[in-house]
Chain A
Amino acid sequence: KNQVEQSPQSLIILEGKNCTLQCNYTVSPFSNLRWYKQDTGRGPVSLTIMTFSENTKSNGRYTATLDADTKQSSLHITASQLSDSASYICVVSAIKAAGNKLTFGGGTRVLVKP
Chain B
Amino acid sequence: GAVVSQHPSWVICKSGTSVKIECRSLDFQATTMFWYRQFPKQSLMLMATSNEGSKATYEQGVEKDKFLINHASLTLSTLTVTSAHPEDSSFYICSATPPGAGNWGTEAFFGQGTRLTVV
Report the number of A-B residue pairs with Cβ-Cβ less than 8 Å. Answer: 67
Interchain residue pairs with CB less than 8 A apart (17): A31-B104, A41-B91, A41-B115, A43-B111, A43-B112, A44-B44, A46-B109, A49-B107, A91-B108, A98-B49, A99-B32, A99-B49, A100-B101, A100-B108, A101-B46, A102-B34, A106-B42
Whether the Cβ atoms of A31 and B105 lie closer than 8 Å is yes
* Whole-angstrom CA separation of A79 from B36 in the bound complex: 32
Q: Residue on A with the closest CB to B59?
A: A101
The 3 closest A-B pairs by CB, nearest first: A43-B110, A99-B32, A43-B113
B106 to chain A, nearest CB (A): 8
Within 8 A of A (CB), among B73-119: 91, 93, 95, 97, 101, 103-113, 115
Interface residues of A (CB under 8 A from B): 31-32, 34, 36, 41-46, 49, 51, 89, 91, 93, 95-102, 104-107, 109
Interface residues of B (CB under 8 A from A): 1, 4, 6, 32, 34, 41-46, 49, 51, 57, 91, 93, 95, 97, 101, 103-113, 115
Contacts of A106 in B (CB 8 A): 42-43
Whether the Cβ atoms of B41 and A95 lie closer than 8 Å is no
* Whole-angstrom CA separation of A32 from B102 in the bound complex: 12
Contacts of B4 in A (CB 8 A): 43
Contacts of B103 in A (CB 8 A): 31, 95-96
B111 to chain A, nearest CB (A): 5
Q: Beyond A43-B6, A100-B101, A100-B105, is A105–B113 a contact (Cβ under 8 Å)? A: no
Q: Residue on A with the closest CB to B110?
A: A43
Q: Which of A45, A96, A97, A99 is in CB contact (< 8 Å) with B110?
A: A45
